């Protein structure tokens, strides 16, 4: 298979982007602590997890790992184009009965913690969380599939709490099921290809299937396997699939939980899931994602958000070149947009389009296309050299905010636009002649630099 985590790991291995941890680690706090202190962003394989035979994979997704796994260039332009093309050319998944993810099927004597090396991450959280679980559910009215990543708190051998924002589709599907007096089955797959993980976070309309975007990236249908005990498919190449059903009307008080801003929040009560089966591949690999303020958590969301934001901005301002969601802004709330030769006022239009598309975005910096927007220093240079504070900072108070926004007050937040575009009478850039710069670049060996 080329659509699974193993194919991605092979590509990373070839590129020297895998770090192996052979020393024993505990699943509670220790494994996350090792992962959080890695020197680089190579994927990590923990081979010796105390009490478990399964190896654990961490740091699977960063921008470079994504490019290697998908066979594209390691540039923002390349990944933006790759995901954007997929969004514009979605491919429907196919369902096949023979699937690696069902090689082993457990329906009796289910015990999540005995089977899976689930991590406990942060000191004040209530317990172990599955953090890389990709949830598939079907709309009880239309039968249309929805995919998202949600945290799952393990409460008992076959009982979990699922955290989900009321604004997300999964929440809406559950409400529909409850209104009809039905339960809702879900598949939770763990250990997926980076393209599938990014697709799962795409900002689509209710009813649009995120797996079609994964198919668009693979240029072929994503292969799915039907559920054994529930009516919800999972990617056939997933390492592990948990099948579960919502327990209608039952909620659990979660306590403190980390959000992407790295702070604890208290979201109150959330729904419960009863596990009906666990299936997995032979010799499965368990995937974990460091939640909270950690790069993998940011990047999966950021790559998904910036692509659909790009499309929306392009509708408003066809001269948009790139959109980038920054890591300093937690992969969610700060966005940089570059425009090619914008007309006066188009910077504001671009920012409004970004705000309208993604409620989490609260600050947009608009720059010209000579700025490399994924380079924070270059963006800061544009702010320092081109933005007139008294004219170019625009604040929009009182906008209804996402509940995950760290500064939300009375459900509202102030949005900020910073226009860092050059003026027509701007001082010219001091540059070495372009012909000479390019000649030097193309003849780099000539200089015998050691």
Ligand X SMILES: Cc1cc2nc3c(=O)[nH]c(=O)nc-3n(C[C@H](O)[C@H](O)[C@H](O)COP(=O)(O)O)c2cc1C
* Site for Mn ion, rule CB under 5 A: 146, 169
Binding footprint of ligand X on the chain (CB under 6 A) = 131, 146, 148-151, 163-165, 168-170, 201, 289, 297, 300-301
DSSP lists the bridge partners of residue 366 as 337, 419
Residue 438: what are its φ and ψ, rounded to 5°? -70, -35
CA distances from 226 to 105, 211, 232, 278, 330 (A): 13, 14, 6, 13, 35
Instruction: Work out how close the CB of 36 gets to ligand X at its nearest, in angstroms, rounded to a whole number.
Output: 14
Instruction: Work out how close the CB of 437 gets to ligand X at its nearest, in angstroms, rounded to a whole number.
Output: 39
User: Which of 286/346 has CB closer to ligand X?
Assistant: 286
Residue found under tokens 């797996």: 211
| Backbone region of residue 313 per phi and psi (left: phi > 0; alpha: psi in -120 to 50; beta: other values) | alpha
- Could you tell me which of 415, 437, 402, 439 has the C-alpha nearest to residue 260? 402
User: Which of 84/368 has CB closer to ligand X?
Assistant: 84
- Which among ligand X, Mn ion, none contacts residue 19 (Cβ within 5 to 8 A by kind)? none
User: Which of 6/169 has CB closer to Mn ion?
Assistant: 169
Please enumerate, as own/partner, the contacts of 391-395 that have beta carbons within 8 Å and a separation of 24 or more.
Answer: 391/419, 392/418, 392/419, 392/420, 393/417, 393/418, 393/419, 394/348, 394/351, 394/418, 394/419
Instruction: Work out how close the CB of 84 gets to ligand X at its nearest, in angstroms, rounded to a whole number.
Output: 17
- Which among ligand X, Mn ion, none contacts residue 173 (Cβ within 5 to 8 A by kind)? none
User: Which of 115/150 has CB closer to ligand X?
Assistant: 150
- Which among Mn ion, ligand X, none contacts residue 150 (Cβ within 5 to 8 A by kind)? ligand X
Instruction: Work out how close the CB of 148 gets to ligand X at its nearest, in angstroms, rounded to a whole number.
Output: 3
Residue nearest to Mn ion (CB): 169
- Which among ligand X, Mn ion, none contacts residue 414 (Cβ within 5 to 8 A by kind)? none
DSSP lists the bridge partners of residue 21 as 46
Please answer whether residues 190 and 286 qualify as being in contact, where contact means their C-beta atoms are separated by less than 8 angstroms: yes
User: Which of 300/330 has CB closer to ligand X?
Assistant: 300
Chain center to CA of 413:
23
- Could you tell me which of 299, 274, 385, 343 has the C-alpha nearest to residue 79? 299
- Which among Mn ion, ligand X, none contacts residue 353 (Cβ within 5 to 8 A by kind)? none
In a 10 Å sphere around its CB, with 0-12 CB exposed, 13-18 middle and 19+ buried, how is residue 446 labelled?
exposed
Instruction: Work out how close the CB of 205 gets to ligand X at its nearest, in angstroms, rounded to a whole number.
Output: 9
- Could you tell me which of 401, 313, 318 has the C-alpha nearest to residue 351? 313
User: Which of 92/114 has CB closer to ligand X?
Assistant: 92
Instruction: Work out how close the CB of 233 gets to Mn ion at its nearest, in angstroms, rounded to a whole number.
Output: 15
Cβ density class 232-244: b for 16+ within 10 Å, e for less = bbbbbbbbbbbbb
- Which among Mn ion, ligand X, none contacts residue 9 (Cβ within 5 to 8 A by kind)? none
Secondary structure string (H, E, C) spanning 168-204: CHHHHHHHHHHHCCCCCEEEEEECECHHHHHHHCCCC
Instruction: Work out how close the CB of 191 gets to ligand X at its nearest, in angstroms, rounded to a whole number.
Output: 14
Number of H helices, E strands in the chain: 13, 23
- Which among ligand X, Mn ion, none contacts residue 301 (Cβ within 5 to 8 A by kind)? ligand X
User: Which of 165/183 has CB closer to ligand X?
Assistant: 165
Q: How far apart are the first and last CA of the chain?
A: 42
- Which among Mn ion, ligand X, none contacts residue 289 (Cβ within 5 to 8 A by kind)? ligand X
- Which among Mn ion, ligand X, none contacts residue 79 (Cβ within 5 to 8 A by kind)? none
User: Which of 203/418 has CB closer to ligand X?
Assistant: 203
Instruction: Work out how close the CB of 46 gets to Mn ion at its nearest, in angstroms, rounded to a whole number.
Output: 31
User: What are 327's two structure tokens?
Assistant: 């890591």
User: Which of 213/418 has CB closer to ligand X?
Assistant: 213
CA atoms within 13 A on the CB side of 446: 6
Instruction: Work out how close the CB of 287 gets to ligand X at its nearest, in angstroms, rounded to a whole number.
Output: 10
């Amino acid at each position: 298979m080329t659509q699974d985590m193993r194919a991605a790991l092979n590509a990373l291995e070839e590129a020297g982007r895998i770090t192996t941890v052979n020393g024993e680690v505990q699943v509670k706090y220790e494994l996350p602590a090792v992962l959080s202190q890695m020197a680089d962003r190579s994927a990590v394989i923990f081979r010796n997890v105390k009490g478990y035979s399964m190896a654990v994979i961490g740091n699977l997704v960063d921008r470079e790992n994504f490019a290697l796994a998908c066979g594209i260039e390691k540039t923002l332009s390349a990944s933006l184009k790759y995901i954007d093309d997929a969004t514009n050319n979605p491919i429907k998944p196919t369902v096949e009965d023979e699937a690696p993810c069902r090689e082993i099927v457990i329906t009796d004597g289910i015990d999540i913690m005995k089977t899976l090396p689930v991590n406990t991450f942060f000191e004040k959280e209530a317990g172990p969380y599955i953090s890389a679980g990709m949830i598939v559910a079907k709309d009880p009215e239309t039968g249309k599939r929805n995919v998202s990543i949600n945290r799952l708190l393990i409460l008992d051998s076959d009982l979990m709490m699922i955290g989900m924002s009321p604004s997300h589709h999964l929440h809406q599907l559950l409400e529909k099921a409850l209104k009809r007096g039905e339960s809702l089955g879900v598949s939770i797959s763990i250990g997926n290809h980076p393209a599938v993980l990014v697709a799962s976070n795409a900002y689509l309309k209710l009813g649009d299937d995120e797996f079609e975007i994964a198919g668009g990236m693979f240029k072929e249908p994503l292969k799915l396997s039907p559920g054994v005990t529930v009516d919800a498919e999972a990617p056939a190449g997933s390492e592990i699939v948990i099948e579960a059903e919502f327990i209608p009307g039952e909620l659990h008080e979660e306590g403190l939980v980390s959000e992407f801003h790295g702070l604890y929040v208290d979201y109150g009560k959330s729904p419960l899931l009863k596990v009906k089966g666990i299936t997995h591949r032979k010799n499965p690999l368990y995937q974990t994602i460091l939640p909270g303020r950690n790069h993998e958590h940011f990047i999966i969301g950021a790559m998904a958000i910036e692509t659909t934001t790009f499309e929306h901005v392009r509708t408003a301002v066809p001269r948009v070149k790139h959109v980038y969601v920054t890591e300093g802004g937690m992969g969610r709330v700060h966005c940089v947009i570059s425009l090619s030769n914008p007309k006066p006022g188009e910077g504001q239009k671009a920012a409004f389009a970004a705000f309208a598309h993604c409620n989490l975005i609260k600050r947009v910096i608009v720059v010209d296309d000579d700025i490399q927007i994924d380079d924070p220093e270059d963006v800061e240079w544009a702010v320092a050299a081109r933005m007139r504070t008294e004219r170019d900072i625009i604040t929009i108070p009182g906008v209804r905010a996402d509940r995950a926004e760290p500064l939300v007050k009375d459900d509202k937040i102030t949005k900020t636009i910073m226009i860092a575009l050059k003026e027509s009478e701007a001082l010219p850039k001091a540059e070495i002649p372009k012909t000479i710069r390019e000649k030097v670049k193309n003849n780099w060996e000539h200089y015998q630099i050691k």
